[in-house]
Structures are given as structure tokens and as C-alpha cells.
A = this chain, B = another copy of it.
């Protein structure tokens, strides 16, 4: 594969026009859309409208006239088609962690005769922390976490397990779980399943309804491009919504919040997952970001995502100077989400050197270099150029410069 082939791919890319819907410097190669999505122009414009017109002029009236009160449901419904979910099963609110707490409590309450939450050793740690928090609060007699290696998950699905909690696409390796198969195996044992879609939503086609998924959470700021710390979402299958009993019973989740009744009565449907007043600016920006997806066919997007990853990997494998990079991700693109990771003893320094040379990737402790491919705004030539720069850095030993040694708080 040479540069001409690459340029030809760009020419034939049916999603190429999408890049113009984002604010992105032409010379920046952004391989971190899996951590923070780029800024859609629609989001930038909406931010100005929310601030200057809705807050600045309409003020408190905006709850009605600009429909702030409907935002959590509206944003949920905009995300639903990307997940293969019929209307009435999604809501946008709080963070993934807070939402996991609500779902864990709900699911444990639906399986009161059991007490085990099963998860995977290398799940995103934050998800495990939330189980630990619930367990410490309620006592291990009513909630206990059990974590196993990925290869032992199926064997561990037995009648002692109340809830299986997994992340669909692993945050480090990008490995994809068989959501449909694992959900079915869990259901066979009477186990409820909570899926974390942080690295799936907006990158991988999903069919939550068809796969009989019970519950899911996901975040707005990765492939959905909703802005830093954008609110998260919750999916709860229609069939479970009458059994929700979530402990963060704030006023926005009340059946009639503005009646100011002293007793909590949960709203029906997804509204009952709301807690406090939502961060309207962040949520309104996420709503506007989702406009970018309106004409996107998810299988087409997935196809480009796979192709970007395959070419990236092939270019690296073809370059013998990059032999020190050990592939951490699955070798086949159908087993991966929209990211590829390598381990390298100097991963941190390489990541810093890449950033200095206009290629933004990220580092995950202890030694992982992670590259994300957001198909809405990445070009094939970005992939080509990023491998060239990576090769130059490693060949020249530029990452050995001591200015790239570990110092920063966040990477």
C-alpha cells in the first residue's frame, strides 16, 4: 500500500464530507476521539445560542420556552437509533458512574435472592469501583463483587450471580464482547446484564433491543462528540421499567416535580432515573453534537472504522523499525472496537513525542499506547502520516529526550 492508494481511499470515502462538520485544524492528526471527541460546528453554534440567547435573555423562562426540561429525554431519543433501541428506553443524565450505581441498585433489587455482581478483571476500573461502593454501603450479604479473567466469564455464569456487568469494548485493548451471546447465556441462568457502552456508542453498530439487553450506560464525550465531561446516558429495556427502584431519587425523577410533595413518587418510564437538576449547557451542547449522526448509516461508519484500523496496523507491521511495538488489541478488525493499542516500555515518552509532532494519541498506564479512529473526521491520509511520524520518532530515538519523561498528572 502506497500513498496513492491511500489518497484514492480518501477520494472514495462516502463519509469524507463529515469532516467539514467539525472544527479541526488541518494539520492536526487526532487519534484520541475515543477519549474526547472533536468539536462539531453544530455544538459550537448551539453553545453560543444557549449562553447568549437562552440563558442571557430568556433566563428562567427557558425551562419552558427553550425546552430545557425536556432535554434529558430528547437527548436520549437522539442516541437511541445509534444503539438499536426503540423510543422510550433512553435518558441522558449524570455520569456513567452515577448511572451505574442506579442500575446496579435496581438490578440487585430485582434479584434479591442473589448477591453476586460478576465482572471482568480488566474492566474499566471505575465500573468496578461503583460495585465496591454499593457493596460497602449495603453490606456484602446483599451485594458482593466477583471478578474473573475474561476467559472465565462464561464458566462463572451460574445461579449465584445476580448481575453481569461488562464493558462492551475494552477501554485498553479494544476487544469486543459478544453482547448478544453473553446476554443470552446470562439470561439462561436468570442473570441480568448491565453493559457499559463507553467505547461502543457512536463507533460500533448495536442492537440493544434485538439482543434482549436489560440495562446499559454510556458516555456522551467520546464518539458522540458531546464535549468534555458531557452527560452520560442510561438504557433500560421497556420490560423492566416498572421494576426500577433506584436510590438516587432526586426531584427531577419525581412524577410531579413541581408539586413539591414531601413523599417521593417515581416518574414512570425513563424519567425515574433523573436525580438533580441537569447541567443544561453541557447537555444542550451534546444534543447539538448528535445532529452530526442524523444522516449516518452505522454499518457504513463501522466499515470505515475497521478499514482505518486495518491500514494503520498493516502499515505498522510493514515497517520493520516499529517491531518494538507489541500489539495489545485483537489482530482481526471484527474483534476490535474503533481503537488499537500497543505496549512498549517507553509508551509514555512516545506518546508525548507524538503529541509534540502533531499526532494526538493517548497513554494508559502502565505501558500502553492507544490510538483511536473516529471515522467521522479521520482521513486515510491522517493514518498514513501518523505511522510515518511514529516511525520517525522511534527510529531517531527522539522519544528518549528527557523532556518526554513522565511528569504530567493526566495523559
Contact = CB atoms under 8 A, between A and B. Distances in A.
Interface of A: 23, 25, 28, 30, 32, 35-36, 38-39, 43-44, 47-48, 51-52, 54-57, 59-64, 68-69, 94-98, 101, 105, 121, 124-126, 128-130, 132-134, 136-138, 147, 219, 221, 227-232, 245-251, 254, 258-264, 275-283, 285, 355, 360, 362, 364-365, 408-411
B32 A59 contact: yes
Contacts of A409: 64, 69, 258
Contact of A94 (B28, B43, B94, B364): B94
Copies of this chain in the oligomer: 2
B55 A262 contact: no
A410 B355 CA distance: 47
Given A97-B276, A230-B279, A259 B365 contact: yes
B94 A59 contact: no
Nearest to A126: B251
Nearest to A22: B56
Given A55-B39, A227-B281, A249-B132, A276 B125 contact: no
Given A30-B59, A55-B227, A95-B275, 14 more contacts: A39-B56, A47-B51, A69-B410, A105-B137, A132-B249, A133-B249, A137-B137, A147-B262, A227-B280, A229-B278, A258-B409, A279-B281, A280-B282, A281-B282
